[in-house]
Structure 1
Amino acid sequence: MTVQIQDTEIYNKLMLSAEKIGRLAEEEALEADLNATISKNVVQLIKEENINRLIWPKIYGEPQIDFTTFTDMIKKVGYYNMSASWLTYFYSLHNSWSTFLPKHRMDEIFHADALLADIFAPMGKTEKVEGGFILNGKWDFVSGINYSNWVAVAAIHHFEGEPQPERLGLVVKVSDLEIIENWNPLGLRGSGSNSIVIRDLFIPEDLTFRFNDIPSKKAFNEAVDSEYLYYKPTYMSAFFVGFPAVALGGAERTIHEYKKHILGVRRMDGSLKGETAKFQRVLAEMAIDFQTAEALMKEYISLLEEKIDEYKPATAQALRAKIIKLCLDIVIKATVTLGAFVAIKGHPIEMISRDMINLSTHMTSLYEDALENYGKSELGFDVISIG
């Protein structure tokens, strides 16, 4: 397993940017939790640090990064605030699907320095018309939509002459749809993952892409070179790489807060908690779980970078889910060991625990689904994996 950083100067710069974004988001965490969205301040800082340009093809002059740099940056923001990490990840990641559009549309989006959202659950209904499609639908859980300029949505469409319907991506200006501010979850509240409604909207054909074209690389336009970060790997496995990175940031912060607590709080007999074998043992268990999760993250990245033709999407799905499960276990263990001290509203571990539970319920993180798919795959059965 070899995972290397391509450019240490870029890496170090991004870590500083992540630190700034994370610390600002942490300062505003309670307000974001109340408002169910991070603030314009955090979004503006993401743009000022050029985080939203990280996954642009090199034809636009932006430095190219590797998956380790990308995920370490996401993890660093997550150490301070998981909602901000979620959106730092998304606002950079979503540029990748823009490369499925014709060059002039990619230019339009990138030259405007736009922020992008997406929701690929095929909840839309389409009607083919001359020059494009009429689109209707309602999509839930559209993270970051409050500050986005464009959003890619999905619908099932049966193309003429094709044997089966397929998933179609359609790219829409946010100004042409309705945002329903209904995001009111347990955790990741700052992600602002509201619903959207689109009614009888014409979508030009050059603002669409076919998901069936993605595995063969046919979806990428001719201006995208083969060294582009998202060109070489299995696309959806690479697309989901940031979710475990968000979790790792939260787990690392939890261990830090646990250490701080047990070295600062005394028991009834006057001894420090940290001097007690029980608290030492729990720390050791959490630390080993975290090291295991980090090692699995490196394995995930190595699959994307080195073993493109050697693994199945179910493997990536299982690795991703296992990393997140280990991180969730760390947070729960810390909470039930430290007790009411860390269950107070606004305590870092209290906020991380809620965020981690919500992350674990995302369709890409569902542990039992991932393990079932992995087991089937290992036995040679057909598997429909999300990547």
Structure 2
Amino acid sequence: MDNEVLEAVRDLLPGIADDARATEEARRIPVQTIRALTDAGVFRMLQPVRYGGTESDPVHFFETVRALSGACGSTGWVASVLGVHPWHLALYPDRAQAEVWGENPDTLICSSYAPVGTMRPVAGGYEVSGVWRFSSGVDHADWALLGGVLVGANGETVDFTTMLVPRADYEIRDIWDTVGLRGTGSNEIAVDSVFVPSHRVMRNFEFSQLRGPGQEVNTGPLYRIPFAAVFTTAIASPVVGVVAGCYETYLATMRDRVRLSLGGGRFAETRYAQVTVARAASEIDASILQMDRNIRALYGAAAAGEEIPMRLRLRARRDQVLGTERALDAMEKLFKTAGGQSLDRGNPIERAWRDAHAGGVHVANDTERALELYGRGAFGLPVEDNMV
């Protein structure tokens, strides 16, 4: 099936690329860009059909994210993060889904999954307080998925959860000022003694077990693949997309460049340049091919009603973190050989270098953690981790 959303998005890419520097300066995605992505259907790709979504093949979603990221890293990042949250909400009780999408299917959801919120049981739900950082696209969302710690009577940790909180119940603090992904507007969320009803809270353990009450009403295979694979691929895909876009920019920029030193001549005619682009292209291709292969396999198993084997879940995490690592390796090769002119602030190659590395530090791209889990599984040792 063709990726119709990607076809619509391609018409937007030149304008998004032209606005990339202004997006950085503003430290957030322009409202008109969010509106254009909404009209193109980006944010409904992983949303249930019951609430106006298209329940698209997840490979198509990540393909679209990579294309956007190639034009503007910040735009691709926010599209991926805000675009993956409808998938997550679809696992919640239908009552929670109706509260978000019942009146407006285009309602957006941001997140900050770090379990820093304190939850105390009260009648009908929980009293919640906390401060969460790094909520990308928060200014465009009306709800937030926030990580919490359920504490007992003596202050001991009882469980880890993710809760759904409306914008009226949290404060947005404008603190985002970073070296990369500057346009994502990943500001801070603060909650002070707010009531969150039980139907808007889910245990993280349930997600790792591939279950959620929303599966009773959202019966498609999209909602039966692992949270860890879907979410971490949503974090890796913008990084790979940024580098893939930079590769094309690099070719266009360096093709006719004449060296002013080292004997002069066209850069593209040197063996050094030719080997560099070959290595970078292979790293990018390997990242995309492996991640897409795994998402297809997970989706295919779910569609066939098969139990998803742990070895596939572990492989998906292995290839996701190594996909990010390969993309960053390619980025280094391109940046190192792009020459002094690419150091100018706002140059697309310089911006891609910053954006790719900023995305690479996300906890979802923790290479050692994911590879350790894969190694345990390969040796037949028990694997107990919510992020697999």
Q: Same fold (TM over 0.5)?
A: yes
Q: CA deviation at 1:101?
A: 3.0
In the TM superposition, 1:252-267 aligns within 5 A as 252-267=244-259
Residue 296 of structure 1 aligns with an amino acid whose one-letter code is Q
Q: CA deviation at 1:201?
A: 0.7
Q: CA deviation at 1:223?
A: 4.6
3-state SS, counterpart of residue 32 of structure 2:
helix
Instruction: Write the deviation string for residues 316-374 of structure 1: whole angstroms up to 9, x where unpaired.
Output: 22211111111111111111112212121111110110011011100011223333333
Distance 1:301 1:119, change over 3 A: same
Q: CA deviation at 1:310?
A: 4.7
Q: CA deviation at 1:165?
A: 1.7
Checking the alignment, whether the CA contact within 8 Å between 1:183 and 1:194 is kept in structure 2 is: yes
In the TM superposition, 1:1-387 aligns within 5 A as 7-8=1-2, 11=3, 13-110=4-101, 111-112=103-104, 113-158=106-151, 165-221=158-214, 223-229=216-222, 231-268=223-260, 269-306=263-300, 308-311=308-311, 313-385=313-385, 386-387=387-388
Q: CA deviation at 1:108?
A: 2.5
Residue 197 of structure 2 aligns with an amino acid whose one-letter code is P
Residue 305 of structure 2: aligned partner: none
RMSD of equivalent CA atoms: 2.2
3-state SS, counterpart of residue 352 of structure 2:
helix
Q: Distance in 1 between matches of 2:15 and 2:168?
A: 28
Deviates more, 1:254-263 or 1:277-286: 254-263
Checking the alignment, whether the CA contact within 8 Å between 1:140 and 1:194 is kept in structure 2 is: yes
Distance 1:226 1:53, change over 3 A: same
Checking the alignment, whether the CA contact within 8 Å between 1:74 and 1:85 is kept in structure 2 is: yes
Aligned residues: 375
Checking the alignment, whether the CA contact within 8 Å between 1:54 and 1:62 is kept in structure 2 is: yes
Residue 3 of structure 1: aligned partner: none
Instruction: Write the deviation string for residues 53-108 of structure 1: whole angstroms up to 9, x where unpaired.
Output: 22221223433311221111111111101111111112221012222333233122
Checking the alignment, whether the CA contact within 8 Å between 1:255 and 1:287 is kept in structure 2 is: yes
Q: Distance in 2 between matches of 1:244 and 1:311?
A: 20
Instruction: Write the deviation string for residues 102-158 of structure 1: whole angstroms up to 9, x where unpaired.
Output: 323312211322110111211011111111111000111111111110001121215
Q: Distance in 2 between matches of 1:108 and 1:65?
A: 23
3-state SS, counterpart of residue 92 of structure 2:
coil
Q: Distance in 2 between matches of 1:287 and 1:78?
A: 17
Q: CA deviation at 1:377?
A: 3.0
Q: Distance in 1 between matches of 2:326 and 2:235?
A: 13
TM-score relative to the length of structure 1: 0.90
Instruction: Write the deviation string for residues 283-338 of structure 1: whole angstroms up to 9, x where unpaired.
Output: 11112222222221233223422452252544322211111111111111111112
Q: Distance in 1 between matches of 2:193 and 2:53?
A: 37
3-state SS, counterpart of residue 25 of structure 2:
helix
Q: CA deviation at 1:51?
A: 1.8
Question: Percent of aligned pairs with the same residue?
Answer: 22
Q: Distance in 1 between matches of 2:5 and 2:242?
A: 18
Distance 1:302 1:49, change over 3 A: closer
Deviates more, 1:76-85 or 1:260-269: 260-269
Residue 283 of structure 1 aligns with an amino acid whose one-letter code is V
Q: Distance in 2 between matches of 1:228 and 1:86?
A: 25
- Which runs of 5 or more residues in structure 1 are unaligned? 1-6
Residue 329 of structure 2 aligns with an amino acid whose one-letter code is D
Residue 17 of structure 2 aligns with an amino acid whose one-letter code is E
Instruction: Write the deviation string for residues 174-198 of structure 1: whole angstroms up to 9, x where unpaired.
Output: 1221111111121111111111110
Q: CA deviation at 1:279?
A: 0.8
Checking the alignment, whether the CA contact within 8 Å between 1:25 and 1:42 is kept in structure 2 is: yes
Q: Distance in 2 between matches of 1:126 and 1:291?
A: 44
Q: Distance in 2 between matches of 1:138 and 1:196?
A: 6
Residue 247 of structure 1 aligns with an amino acid whose one-letter code is V
Q: Distance in 2 between matches of 1:107 and 1:257?
A: 43
3-state SS, counterpart of residue 169 of structure 1:
strand
- Which runs of 5 or more residues in structure 2 are unaligned? 302-307
3-state SS, counterpart of residue 117 of structure 1:
strand
Q: Distance in 1 between matches of 2:55 and 2:148?
A: 32
Q: Distance in 2 between matches of 1:374 and 1:101?
A: 29
Deviates more, 1:277-286 or 1:263-272: 263-272
Checking the alignment, whether the CA contact within 8 Å between 2:221 and 2:299 is kept in structure 1 is: no
Q: Distance in 2 between matches of 1:276 and 1:216?
A: 53
Checking the alignment, whether the CA contact within 8 Å between 2:145 and 2:164 is kept in structure 1 is: yes
